[in-house]
Chains A and B, each alone.
Chain A
Amino acid sequence: MPITCLLADDEPILRFHLQRQLEELWPELDSIITAANGDEAWDLIQESQPQVVFLDIKMPGASGLEVAHRMQTSGLTENCQVVFLTAYDQHALEAFDREALDYLLKPLDEKRLEKTLDRLRRNLAERQPQLASLQRLEELLNTQNQLAKTAAPRYLKWIKALQGDSIHVLDVEQILAFQAEDKYTTLITSEGNFLIRTSLKQLEQELAPDLFWRIHRSTLVQVSQIARVSRSFTGQLEVQVEGIKKPLAVSRRFADQFKQN
């Protein structure tokens, strides 16, 4: 039976290097197909149904883990051995060890590669599918996604806003206050005002609650930018923000936040 191998890595030199290593160390391979990204790899896998697949984890398009998951859901792993490639991915490596999935670290260690190839040949001879359990990979993908979620900020970090004709990308920490006006919300920064369409209510949910406080029906203010809180001669509670000339009114409903205990 002819053996086909697919090799997916977005870096041409790494791809070529592994291809040469395989040609040298596994001469029985009939053909080696290469792919430069996850989507291309998935197309080629469906087309030529290889028995061995090497997948880089971090690739443009679909990641290596996603490609393997697609293979499993469509039953393509029954007759296929999958080996993951990664340069540095602490979390994935722990998971791989736990799930006994095969992986190779870049730069490649030749002895380690030979070991992997031995195992692949043995499994192929015994016709043992390596990725037997769909559940395992799904769990792995989930933990990866969760890790990405917890590592990345859960709250809004960047806001795309309009100033005149151009779209600016603002760090939320640059924004001194949000003020609702009709359909728009004005973002006040020390470098001028910007406009977005998101409502204050929605912003309040997406922004970190300890970063911005609601002080008025139409005002959210960055807490760390408050210079002082005072009462005007009419008795109105006001917040003075460094960089905004006019003090911002605090409505009675939100005044409790500033009460001294």
Chain B
Amino acid sequence: MHSANSITATKPLLKELAQNLFFTSLACLVIAVLMSLLSPLSTLASLKIAFSYGISMTLLLNLFLVWWPSYPVWITAGSGVLLGLLLGTSVMILEIHGSFTRAFTEQPLQVLGNLLIGLIFSFTVCYFFYIHYRTQKLQAEQAEKEKSLALSQLRLLQSQIEPHFLFNTLGNIQGLVDTQPDKAKQMIQALTALLRANLSQVRSDTTSLDQELGLVRAYLEIQQLRMGPRLKWSIQCPESLHSVAIPPLLLQPLVENAIKHGLEPLPEGGEVSLEITTEQNLIQLLVRDSGRGFTDHPTTQGEGLGLSNLRQRLELFYADQAKLTITQPKAGGTQIQLSFPLDIPGAPENAHHLPLG
């Protein structure tokens, strides 16, 4: 549930309130016209009565919901409706009878009747708004569920360590164990870090940039030992960004792609660099490699699959606020630019929308 909340973008409260007030006013207008036609009341009096019911209820109900978000909805919303009802009925009594005492002494039955009509009227309106709110909420919840399911499936796909990579890494450890035990140890540590990070990230919705960079470093250290002088790499990231929250497995696939499809097919290897900067409220990621570049006819199995996966995840996570651009510099190689907002969109804990009107 928490994950779902962190992804939703909540409508600003004021905007929602304005919308609710607008629809309430429309409804009040219609009722006022009906009232002036069907009863001896003047148009002005009908308007006054209808609006004092509608506006007071809408305002009170929403105010209570915002002020006491921790109380159950039936208490806050219910007391809002009740107070609104009393206010509206008072206005009605004053309009029709002039004063309370006169109304209660002269025509108590009619007052009771008015109160009853007001009651029925307000609860009908509230019921409609409530149904509307419920369906909206259910739809939103359903969408959230589907979204988080899709996200976790995509994440799982992305996290799968390629068997070729795993067996070759083990082969390297085997080769190092007798002659260079220190390096073998280093490789086991890097592989452990990689596996652990992978496992934990499959289960989490967000990670910190620092953690993700740890994963990338572990991956690059292994590749460094495997490829030797054929691989050169660098990572640049200001320390101030280390705690930024990002979706897991965002960087590692980009670096993996650069090596697997860019550098590994070249006998002479090459360079991969990762640069992270901020610009206004955006994080800018730049992955560059001096490799083979995108070929028109993909020859490596599953080429680009990781990128499509990443694009889908970014869209689910950041809607249209993330941008992934792949370019081919004139000097050769591939350059991938990724930018996304510093803050993950969505409201914090407070899941209370303004529901009724």
User: Interface residues, chain A, CB within 8 Å of chain B?
Assistant: 10-14, 16-17, 20, 36-37, 39-40, 58, 60-61, 87-89, 105-108, 148, 151-153, 157-158, 160, 166-171, 173-174, 190-191
Contacts and interface: CB of A to CB of B under 8 A. Distances in A.
Nearest to A106: B171
Contact of B167 (A16, A39, A107, A148): A107
A40 B267 contact: yes
B301 A151 contact: yes
B175 to A, nearest CB: 3
B175 A158 contact: no
A14 B327 contact: no
A107 B174 contact: yes
Nearest to A168: B327
B141 to A, nearest CB: 24
Contacts of B178: 20
A182 B267 CA distance: 42
Contacts of A151: 301-302
Given A17-B171, A168-B326, A191-B325, 13 more contacts: A11-B171, A17-B174, A20-B179, A107-B171, A107-B173, A108-B171, A152-B299, A157-B298, A158-B298, A167-B328, A167-B329, A169-B326, A171-B307
13 contacts: A10-B267, A20-B178, A39-B267, A60-B266, A88-B166, A108-B174, A148-B299, A152-B300, A157-B303, A158-B296, A168-B325, A171-B308, A173-B311
A87 B302 contact: no
Given A13-B175, A171-B311, A106 B294 contact: no
Contact of A11 (B227, B296, B308): B227
Contacts of B225: 13
Nearest to B301: A151
B198 interface: no
B63 interface: no
A119 B356 CA distance: 83
Nearest to A85: B171
Interface residues of B, number: 43
A58 B164 contact: yes
A153 B304 CA distance: 10
B208 to A, nearest CB: 28
B320 interface: yes
Contact of A88 (B167, B267, B296, B307): B167
A157 to B, nearest CB: 6
A13 B178 CA distance: 12
A41 to B, nearest CB: 11
Contacts of A152: 298-303
A167 B328 CA distance: 5
A206 to B, nearest CB: 10
Residue among A11, A20, A191 having the largest count of chain B Cβ atoms under 10 Å: A11
A108 B173 CA distance: 11
Interface string B328-346: 1110001000000000000
B176 A107 contact: no
Contacts of A60: 264-267
Given A148-B299, A153-B298, A169 B328 contact: yes
A13 B223 CA distance: 12
B147 interface: no
Contacts of A168: 325-328
Contact of A160 (B168, B294, B329): B294
Contact of B175 (A16, A170, A171): A16
3 interchain residue pairs of minimum CB distance: A17-B175, A87-B167, A106-B171
Q: Most chain-B CB neighbours within 10 Å: which of A58, A166, A169? A: A169
Contacts of A173: 308, 311
Contacts of B227: 10-11
B36 interface: no
B294 A158 contact: yes
Contact of B304 (A37, A39, A58, A171): A171
B228 A12 contact: yes
B327 A11 contact: no
B320 A190 contact: yes
A39 B330 CA distance: 27
Contact of A37 (B228, B267, B326): B267
B299 to A, nearest CB: 6
Contacts of A61: 267
A167 B330 CA distance: 8
A191 B339 CA distance: 13
B48 interface: no
A191 B226 CA distance: 39
Given A13-B225, A36-B267, A107 B170 contact: yes
Contacts of B334: 169
A224 B173 CA distance: 48
A108 B177 CA distance: 13
Name, among B167, B175, B300, B328, the residue most crowded by chain A CB atoms within 10 Å (CB to CB). Answer: B175
A151 B300 CA distance: 9
Contacts of B171: 11, 13-14, 17, 87, 106-108
